[in-house]
Amino acid sequence: MRLILLGPPGAGKGTQAQRLVEKHGIVQLSTGDMLRATVAAGTPVGQRAKDIMARGELVPDEVVVDIISDRIDQDDAQNGFILDGFPRTVGQAEALEKLLASKGLKLDAVIELMVDDSILLDRIENRIAQMKARGEPVRADDNAESLAKRLTAYHVQTAPLSQYYRLKGLHKATDGMAPIDEVSEAIDAILTAKPRRKAATAAKRRPRVLAGRRPAGRKPAARSASGRATGKAAKKAKKSAKTAAAKAATRSTAKSSAKAATKAGRVASKSRKAASKASKAASRKKTAKKTTKKATKTAAKRTKTAKAAKSATSRHKAASTRSSTRSGASKARSGRGRRLTKRR
């Protein structure tokens, strides 16, 4: 079992790592401890690390990876290990992956303890107060200010590892703020959970065998009379099922066609009604236009006739007046003649 525990400083990774070591018989690999042990042993890698630290420089990733490589080759690490303090960056995670692949190994899980920064600060302050009350020595970097700086560095450098291992399907998370025993139980549940079954690839997928055919290279097995009867019954049942399915499909198609035809008929009926209404409206409009035109002509004709009649009456009256005037003058002249005649 090869594990990585993620979480900010003070999350309880060391406590949970010790419990896993005792339960599964694996070793906890701390980069700091391995670095000191390698320098003390005087190995070539340890000598390189010693020279770098003597110059006050940080030990590069390739040196740390070489130290881890030597450590996991030792006998006590054959059953597995828990990496503590490494990797801290995505670059270190990629280097670790290449190292394990070169040895034919891989990680089983990456478990992250999720905690709240403000609660961590309260924890460290309470722990310091308890250590002082018991008269125990307190480390110089074991204070709230140092922890705040370490938390900032963790969120900038190490937190991206969560997404990196999540994409590889290795990341698991649990509540690190729960009591220690509950956190241990949650980690055990994660480790004992069965992995999801992956879909078979095209190369590993078994070839499909069609009904009535046998795979290439395999001889057909002899079948008894009962086997043949069972095969016939199965074929008959399959044929009946196909027939029933075809009939059901036909009924469904006919029903769908009838519904579609009914709907089309309704649409056509509505279209005809709309066309009939439009035609009637146009006819009424045309009739009204003709009636108006005819009435206009009749009125004009009547006006013309009335004017002609009035003109004829005027002419007749004028003619009668002239005739009456001439007649009176004639009569006057005749009477005067008669009077003259009688006088004579």
List the catalytic residue out of 2, 13, 48, 71: 13
Q: Which of 103, 106, 127, 149 is catalytic?
A: 127
Tell me whether residue 139 is one of the annotated catalytic residues.
yes
Catalytic residue of the set 98, 139, 197, 213: 139
Annotation marks residue 13 as catalytic: yes
282/278 Cα distance (integer angstroms):
6
Is residue 88 part of the annotated active site? The answer reads yes
Question: Does the active-site annotation cover 205?
Answer: no
Q: Among residues 36, 50, 123, 150, which one is catalytic?
A: 150
The catalytic site residues sit at 13, 88, 127, 139, 150
